[in-house]
């Protein structure tokens, strides 16, 4: 049974006249009569008493009308709710991002977007790249900002937004703190403070050193960058991280890697999945935002 059939039934029940109801619904009277007959056949009971051209609800019809009113009211409500969600410039965007971007980049992006689209709303998720990938696969988020992610479950489209350099950080009391740059061999025997596994930065740094023939001596793995910086500042080891906001608050020295290392930050979305207009509009805005930011 379709929503349209229920709307036909309600119109006939209200007007109590098949021909006039057909005129209001802009369909033929035989087509309307057939639709009502199909409903009655499906339910197994007559819904109307018919006397000449007049037609009015019987007790089964009265009972059915109560349920139809509830169904149509709920249908109108959810339809209106969906329209609000997908309306360009004023819908809701479900947006995920990695932890390091939550300290400065994403807050500034959302603030800028809110000025351009004051009625746009956001459902934000801050997580590791692995967790964001899973939520993207499940359809729980529309877009995510992270290092490039790949899925075995869905096709993902990605556009690069910006590239940031990675640095070695050492305690200010460390002998290497007297330098401005270090080679990989100079830190290969140092205790290493890492980000926990499941984070794309952890994978990037591990692979970076393996390419140099170095297996890192990881002594502690933290959830986020400021914890890493805190442990390094306390003299517990060294690390490799981006130039995060607030790094100068810790007792660490930032050193360039020789040769340098970079990570690419991208926006990703499911290729063959419906992207709500608000999310599509936000995607275009953030692409322009980061392009202007890099200029």
pLDDT digit string, tens, across residues 177-226: 999 999 999 999 999 999 988 788 899 999 999 999 999 999 999 988 99
Last residue of a domain, one of 38, 68, 86: 86
How far apart are alpha carbons 115 and 22 in whole angstroms? 49
Domain count, the chain: 3
> Could you tell me if 137 and 173 lie in one domain?
no
> Could you tell me if 132 and 46 lie in one domain?
no
Interacting residues of 264 by C-beta distance below 8 A, sequence separation 6+: 147, 148, 160, 162, 163
Q: What integer pLDDT is reported at residue 84 of this predicted model?
A: 64
Domain CATH for 101: 3.40.190.10
DSSP letters of 236-279? S-BEEEE--TTGGGSSEEEEEEEEEEEEEEEEEEETTS---HHH
Q: What integer pLDDT is reported at residue 87 of this predicted model?
A: 65
Q: What confidence tens digit (pLDDT) does each residue in 102-145 have? A: 888 999 999 999 999 998 889 999 998 889 999 999 999 999 99
Supply the range of the domain harboring residue 120: 93-157+271-294
**Higher pLDDT among residues 87 and 34, named by residue:** 34
> Could you tell me if 103 and 175 lie in one domain?
no
> Could you tell me if 7 and 134 lie in one domain?
no
Sign of CA dihedral 278, 86, 277, 94: positive
Q: What integer pLDDT is reported at residue 94 of this predicted model?
A: 94
Interacting residues of 99 by C-beta distance below 8 A, sequence separation 6+: 126, 127, 128, 199, 223, 224, 225
Coil vs helix vs strand at 26: coil
**Higher pLDDT among residues 173 and 89, named by residue:** 173
> Could you tell me if 169 and 191 lie in one domain?
yes
Domain CATH for 225: 3.40.190.290
My answer on whether omega of the bond before 259 falls inside 30° of 0, hence cis, is: yes
pLDDT of residue 89 exceeding 80, the answer is: no
> Could you tell me if 81 and 106 lie in one domain?
no
- Lowest mean pLDDT, pick from 9-23, 88-102, 124-138: 88-102
Query: What is the arithmetic mean of pLDDT over 67-94?
Result: 81
> Could you tell me if 58 and 98 lie in one domain?
no
Question: Which 8-state DSSP code applies to residue 17?
Answer: B
Domain CATH for 14: 1.10.10.10
In 3D, which of 99, 278, 92, 251 has the Cα closest to residue 177?
251
The pLDDT > 70 percentage for the chain reads: 97
> Could you tell me if 146 and 283 lie in one domain?
yes
Q: What integer pLDDT is reported at residue 234 of this predicted model?
A: 96
Q: What integer pLDDT is reported at residue 65 of this predicted model?
A: 93
> Could you tell me if 276 and 257 lie in one domain?
no
Q: What integer pLDDT is reported at residue 233 of this predicted model?
A: 96
Q: What integer pLDDT is reported at residue 88 of this predicted model?
A: 63
Q: What confidence tens digit (pLDDT) does each residue in 149-168 have? A: 899 999 999 999 999 999 99
Q: How far is CA 2 from each of CA 13, 37, 81, rounded to the nearest angstrom? A: 17, 14, 20
- Read off the tokens for 257: 């890697």
> Could you tell me if 64 and 144 lie in one domain?
no
> Could you tell me if 251 and 280 lie in one domain?
no
Sequence-ordered strand ranges (E) for the chain: 48-51, 54-57, 92-97, 121-126, 143-146, 156-171, 181-183, 191-195, 217-222, 239-242, 252-270
How far apart are alpha carbons 264 and 192 in whole angstroms? 23
> Could you tell me if 169 and 254 lie in one domain?
yes
Q: What integer pLDDT is reported at residue 262 of this predicted model?
A: 93
- Dihedral of the alpha carbons of 222, 126, 251, 263, in degrees to the nearest 10: 90
């Amino acid at each position: 049974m379709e929503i349209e059939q229920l709307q036909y039934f309600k119109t006939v029940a209200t007007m109590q006249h098949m021909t006039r109801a057909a005129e209001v619904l802009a369909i033929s009277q035989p087509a309307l009569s057939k639709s009502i007959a199909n409903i009655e056949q499906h339910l197994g009971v007559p819904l109307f008493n018919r006397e000449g051209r007049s037609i009015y609800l019987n007790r089964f019809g009265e009972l059915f009308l109560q349920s139809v009113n509830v169904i149509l009211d709920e249908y109108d409500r959810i339809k209106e709710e969906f329209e609000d969600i997908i309306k360009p410039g004023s819908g809701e965007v479900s947006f995920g991002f990695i932890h390091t971007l939550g300290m400065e980049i994403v807050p500034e992006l959302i603030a800028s977007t809110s000025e351009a689209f004051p009625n746009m709303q956001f459902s934000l998720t801050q997580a590791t790249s692995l967790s964001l990938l899973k939520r993207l696969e499940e359809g729980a988020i529309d877009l995510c900002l992270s290092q490039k992610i790949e899925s075995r479950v869905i096709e993902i489209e990605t556009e690069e937004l910006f590239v940031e350099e990675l640095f070695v950080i050492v305690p200010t009391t460390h002998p290497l703190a007297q330098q401005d740059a270090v080679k990989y061999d100079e830190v290969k025997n140092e205790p290493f403070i890492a980000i926990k596994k499941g984070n794309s930065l952890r994978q990037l740094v591990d692979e970076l050193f393996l390419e140099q023939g170095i297996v890192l001596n990881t002594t502690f793995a933290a959830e986020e960058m400021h914890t890493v910086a805190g442990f390094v500042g306390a003299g517990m080891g060294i690390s490799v991280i981006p130039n995060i906001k607030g790094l100068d608050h810790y007792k660490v020295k930032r050193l360039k890697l020789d040769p340098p290392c970079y990570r690419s930050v991208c926006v990703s979305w499911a290729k063959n999945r419906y992207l709500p207009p608000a999310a599509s509009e936000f995607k275009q805005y953030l692409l322009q935002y980061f392009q202007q930011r890099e200029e």
